[in-house]
């Protein structure tokens, strides 16, 4: 098979296309997928840089980056039912964070979902369905979003964040507001995501006045996390879902949680979903329904594997309107 691999940690130039690697075979409970599109996410950049190299189970070079793929089922492993060869699917990572930038991907069957006949473009599907499933799990199992509640989403146009307005609306949220850095306000104006409003994250007080939110989704972290406490009321829930700001020193004062009577929870799909697999089918079903209903509309630039260095550089410089997906060379 063909793949992008990295022989060492480093900048985007450590990524290289290789051919002639052995095709993976499906084991029990697994499928292999002929990949049409591989998602590119911020986590791929962090793993390539070796940011988490000292954490147990994190990939060590050489490895093939990529967590999520779209394509068609190539072969079924023993014990797999409910999927057929040739069926169009999207697969989520089982947590290893590797293998996606390849022409053949081995996936766990329970983390593989059919999009056959749903009319969802494969590049869009791989870019939004995994994140939408994560958003569903976070909103239902961690934030316990109730119908009629309001939601604030930081980093509104980021890959993970972009999945929240559609899923929140699907779950009955009354209002979903996003925040972006000032440089992204023009892009935000053109978004087709179902935000009711998108505001400048550096000017929250002026933009929002006294408005408060029942649920805050925060994959950005840093000082924005503490500023968010002012946008919550007693009983509000904030989910710390990432640290795109790269501010690892900032801490939330837990006494403020007590005094304000608010909750801050963590959510990491790579830890949560394998521990609670019973939530995966409903999350994937909701993600597909939301995509098919047009609640996940975002631009996806498709680049061939040979342009993976460009793809990672564009992600690093935030030179994009939506997402980037990679596709194997013909």
Ligand X SMILES: NC(=O)c1ccc[n+]([C@@H]2O[C@H](COP(=O)([O-])OP(=O)(O)OC[C@H]3O[C@@H](n4cnc5c(N)ncnc54)[C@H](OP(=O)(O)O)[C@@H]3O)[C@@H](O)[C@H]2O)c1
Q: What is the DSSP string of 45-57?
A: HHHHHTTTTTSTT
Q: How far is CA 90 from the centre of its chain?
A: 13
- Is residue 191 involved in binding ligand X (CB under 6 A)? no
CB of 299 to ligand X, least distance (A): 13
Query: Which of the stretches 80-88, 249-257, 261-269, 275-283 binds ligand X when contact is defined by CB under 6 A?
Result: 261-269
Asked if residue 215 lies in contact with residue 145, where contact means CB atoms within 8 angstroms, the answer is yes
Buried b (16+ CB within 10 A) or exposed e, 28-51: eebbbbbbbbbbbbbbbbebbbbe
- Is residue 178 involved in binding ligand X (CB under 6 A)? no
Structure tokens at 103: 């022409």
Query: Which of the stretches 2-10, 142-150, 153-161, 288-296 binds ligand X when contact is defined by CB under 6 A?
Result: 153-161
- Is residue 163 involved in binding ligand X (CB under 6 A)? no
Answer for which of 243, 263, 265, 307 binds ligand X (CB under 6 A) is 243
CB of 134 to ligand X, least distance (A): 5
CB of 238 to ligand X, least distance (A): 13
Instruction: Outline where DSSP puts E strands in 45-115.
Output: 69-76, 88-91, 104-108, 112-114
DSSP assignment letter at 184: G
Asked if residue 105 lies in contact with residue 32, where contact means CB atoms within 8 angstroms, the answer is yes
- Is residue 245 involved in binding ligand X (CB under 6 A)? yes
- Is residue 287 involved in binding ligand X (CB under 6 A)? no
CB of 295 to ligand X, least distance (A): 17
Report d(CA 197, CA 176) in Å as an integer: 7
CB of 237 to ligand X, least distance (A): 15
Name 65's bridge partners: 98
Q: Which is nearer to ligand X, 193 or 315 (CB)?
A: 315
CB of 82 to ligand X, least distance (A): 25
Instruction: Write each residue from 96 to 135 as x if it is in contact with ligand X (CB under 6 A), else as -, in one continuous string.
Output: --------------------------------------x-
| Interface with ligand X: number of residues (CB under 6 A) | 25
Answer for which of 35, 43, 231, 324 binds ligand X (CB under 6 A) is 43
- Is residue 312 involved in binding ligand X (CB under 6 A)? no
Q: What is the enclosing helix (H) or strand (E) of 156?
A: none
CB of 161 to ligand X, least distance (A): 6
Q: Which is nearer to ligand X, 23 or 319 (CB)?
A: 319
Phi first, then psi, for residue 29 (nearest 5°) are 75, 10
Q: What is the enclosing helix (H) or strand (E) of 326?
A: strand 323-327
Report d(CA 322, CA 162) in Å as an integer: 9
Question: Computed from CA positions of residues 245, 249, 255, 256, in that sequence, does the dihedral angle turn out positive or negative?
Answer: negative
CB of 270 to ligand X, least distance (A): 6
Answer for which of 89, 132, 153, 241 binds ligand X (CB under 6 A) is 241
- Whole-number Cα distances in Å, 270 to 167, 187, 238, 266: 19, 29, 19, 12
Please identify which residue in the block is written with the tokens 């999520």: 68
Answer for which of 155, 178, 194, 322 binds ligand X (CB under 6 A) is 155
Binding site for ligand X (CB under 6 A): 41-43, 134, 155, 157-161, 180-181, 184, 219-220, 241-245, 267-269, 315, 318
């Amino acid at each position: 098979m063909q793949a992008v691999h990295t022989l060492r940690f480093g900048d985007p130039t450590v990524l290289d296309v290789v051919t002639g690697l052995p095709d993976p075979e499906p084991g029990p409970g697994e499928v292999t997928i002929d990949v049409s599109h591989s998602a590119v996410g911020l986590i791929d950049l962090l793993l390539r840089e070796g940011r988490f190299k000292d954490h147990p189970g994190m990939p060590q070079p050489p490895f093939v980056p990529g967590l999520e793929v779209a394509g068609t089922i190539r072969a079924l492993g023993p014990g797999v039912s409910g999927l057929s060869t040739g069926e169009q699917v999207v697969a989520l990572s089982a947590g290893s964070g590797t293998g996606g930038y390849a022409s053949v991907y081995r996936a766990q069957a329970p983390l593989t979902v059919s999009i056959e006949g749903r009319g969802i473009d494969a590049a869009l599907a791989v870019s939004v369905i995994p994140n939408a499933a994560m958003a569903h799990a976070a909103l239902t199992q961690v934030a316990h979003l109730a119908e009629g509640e309001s939601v604030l989403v930081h980093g509104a146009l980021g890959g993970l964040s972009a999945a929240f307005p559609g899923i929140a609306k699907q779950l009955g949220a009354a209002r979903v507001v996003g925040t972006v850095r000032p440089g992204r306000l023009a892009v935000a104006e053109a978004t087709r995501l179902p935000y009711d409003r998108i505001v400048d994250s550096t000017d929250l007080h002026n933009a929002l006045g006294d408005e408060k939110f029942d649920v805050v989704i925060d994959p950005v972290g840093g000082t924005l996390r503490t500023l968010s406490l002012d946008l919550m009321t007693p009983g509000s829930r904030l989910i710390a879902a990432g640290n795109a700001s790269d501010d690892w020193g900032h801490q939330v004062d837990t006494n403020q949680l007590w005094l304000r009577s608010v909750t801050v929870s963590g959510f990491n799909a790579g830890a949560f979903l394998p521990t609670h697999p019973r939530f995966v089918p409903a999350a994937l079903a909701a993600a597909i329904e939301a995509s098919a209903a047009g609640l996940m509309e975002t631009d996806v630039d498709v680049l061939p594997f040979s342009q993976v260095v460009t793809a990672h550089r564009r992600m690093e410089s935030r030179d994009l309107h939506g997402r980037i997906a990679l596709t194997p060379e013909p």
